[in-house]
Amino acid sequence: MDYGQLKVLSVDELWLLHEEITSELSRKIEAEKAKLEERLQKIKMATTKRGGREGHRRPYPKVLPKYRNPKNPKETWSGRGKQPRWLTAQLGAGKKLNQFLISRP
Protein backbone atom coordinates (compact mmCIF):
# COMPACT_ATOMS: atom_id res chain seq x y z
CA MET A 1 0.00 0.00 0.00
CA ASP A 2 1.19 3.50 -0.78
CA TYR A 3 1.20 5.32 2.55
CA GLY A 4 1.01 8.68 0.76
CA GLN A 5 -2.62 7.83 -0.03
CA LEU A 6 -3.43 7.90 3.69
CA LYS A 7 -2.97 11.67 3.73
CA VAL A 8 -5.84 12.21 1.31
CA LEU A 9 -8.32 10.03 3.22
CA SER A 10 -10.92 11.64 5.46
CA VAL A 11 -11.12 10.97 9.17
CA ASP A 12 -14.12 8.66 8.64
CA GLU A 13 -12.26 6.69 5.95
CA LEU A 14 -9.19 6.42 8.18
CA TRP A 15 -11.33 5.23 11.09
CA LEU A 16 -12.98 2.60 8.88
CA LEU A 17 -9.52 1.43 7.77
CA HIS A 18 -8.42 1.30 11.41
CA GLU A 19 -11.42 -0.90 12.30
CA GLU A 20 -10.75 -3.24 9.36
CA ILE A 21 -7.09 -3.58 10.34
CA THR A 22 -8.01 -4.22 13.99
CA SER A 23 -10.55 -6.84 12.98
CA GLU A 24 -8.09 -8.61 10.66
CA LEU A 25 -5.33 -8.55 13.30
CA SER A 26 -7.69 -10.03 15.89
CA ARG A 27 -8.69 -12.81 13.51
CA LYS A 28 -5.06 -13.67 12.72
CA ILE A 29 -4.03 -13.56 16.38
CA GLU A 30 -6.86 -15.93 17.33
CA ALA A 31 -5.87 -18.32 14.52
CA GLU A 32 -2.22 -18.30 15.66
CA LYS A 33 -3.29 -18.81 19.28
CA ALA A 34 -5.39 -21.83 18.27
CA LYS A 35 -2.41 -23.34 16.43
CA LEU A 36 -0.16 -22.85 19.44
CA GLU A 37 -2.71 -24.37 21.83
CA GLU A 38 -3.05 -27.39 19.52
CA ARG A 39 0.74 -27.84 19.50
CA LEU A 40 0.81 -27.55 23.31
CA GLN A 41 -1.85 -30.25 23.64
CA LYS A 42 0.18 -32.56 21.37
CA ILE A 43 3.27 -31.97 23.50
CA LYS A 44 1.33 -32.70 26.69
CA MET A 45 -0.09 -35.90 25.20
CA ALA A 46 3.38 -37.03 24.10
CA THR A 47 4.74 -36.35 27.59
CA THR A 48 1.92 -38.32 29.18
CA LYS A 49 2.45 -41.26 26.82
CA ARG A 50 6.13 -41.43 27.82
CA GLY A 51 5.09 -41.83 31.43
CA GLY A 52 5.77 -38.29 32.52
CA ARG A 53 3.37 -36.68 34.91
CA GLU A 54 2.89 -32.96 34.79
CA GLY A 55 4.27 -31.13 37.81
CA HIS A 56 5.17 -34.29 39.70
CA ARG A 57 8.58 -35.60 40.63
CA ARG A 58 9.28 -39.26 40.39
CA PRO A 59 8.81 -41.05 43.71
CA TYR A 60 11.96 -41.73 45.68
CA PRO A 61 12.22 -44.55 48.18
CA LYS A 62 12.18 -43.62 51.85
CA VAL A 63 15.72 -43.32 53.16
CA LEU A 64 16.42 -44.82 56.56
CA PRO A 65 18.48 -42.79 59.03
CA LYS A 66 22.16 -43.73 59.31
CA TYR A 67 23.21 -41.51 62.22
CA ARG A 68 21.63 -40.78 65.60
CA ASN A 69 22.27 -38.06 68.16
CA PRO A 70 23.24 -39.84 71.41
CA LYS A 71 21.98 -36.89 73.49
CA ASN A 72 18.58 -36.88 71.80
CA PRO A 73 17.75 -40.21 70.07
CA LYS A 74 14.82 -38.60 68.22
CA GLU A 75 17.32 -36.60 66.13
CA THR A 76 18.61 -38.63 63.20
CA TRP A 77 20.27 -38.00 59.87
CA SER A 78 20.20 -40.13 56.73
CA GLY A 79 23.58 -38.96 55.49
CA ARG A 80 22.01 -36.95 52.68
CA GLY A 81 21.88 -33.20 52.45
CA LYS A 82 23.35 -30.74 54.89
CA GLN A 83 24.65 -32.12 58.18
CA PRO A 84 22.41 -31.28 61.14
CA ARG A 85 23.67 -28.84 63.75
CA TRP A 86 23.99 -31.48 66.44
CA LEU A 87 26.31 -33.53 64.24
CA THR A 88 28.36 -30.54 63.13
CA ALA A 89 28.87 -29.57 66.78
CA GLN A 90 29.94 -33.10 67.75
CA LEU A 91 32.37 -33.36 64.83
CA GLY A 92 33.74 -29.95 65.76
CA ALA A 93 34.37 -31.27 69.29
CA GLY A 94 36.66 -33.97 67.86
CA LYS A 95 34.29 -36.95 67.53
CA LYS A 96 34.26 -39.16 64.43
CA LEU A 97 31.26 -39.64 62.13
CA ASN A 98 31.23 -43.42 62.58
CA GLN A 99 30.60 -42.95 66.32
CA PHE A 100 27.05 -41.87 65.47
CA LEU A 101 26.19 -44.77 63.15
CA ILE A 102 22.97 -46.60 63.90
CA SER A 103 23.67 -50.31 64.22
CA ARG A 104 21.46 -52.48 62.05
CA PRO A 105 20.79 -56.17 62.80
In a domain, 71, yes or no: yes
Give the pLDDT of the chain (105 residues) as one tens digit per residue: 677 888 899 999 999 999 999 999 999 999 999 999 999 998 888 877 666 555 667 788 889 999 999 999 999 999 999 999 999 999 999 999 999 999 877
Total of domains in the chain: 2
Whether residues 40 and 72 share a domain: the answer is no
User: Would residue 94 be called left, alpha or beta, if left means φ above 0 and alpha means ψ between -120 and 50 degrees?
Assistant: left
Domain assignment of residue 84, given as a range: 67-100
Does residue 24 fall inside a structural domain? yes
Among 73, 55, 67, which residue's Cα sits nearest to residue 100?
67
Tell me if 105 is assigned to some domain.
no
Q: Is 62 a member of any domain?
A: no
Please tell me the pTM assigned to this model: 0.45
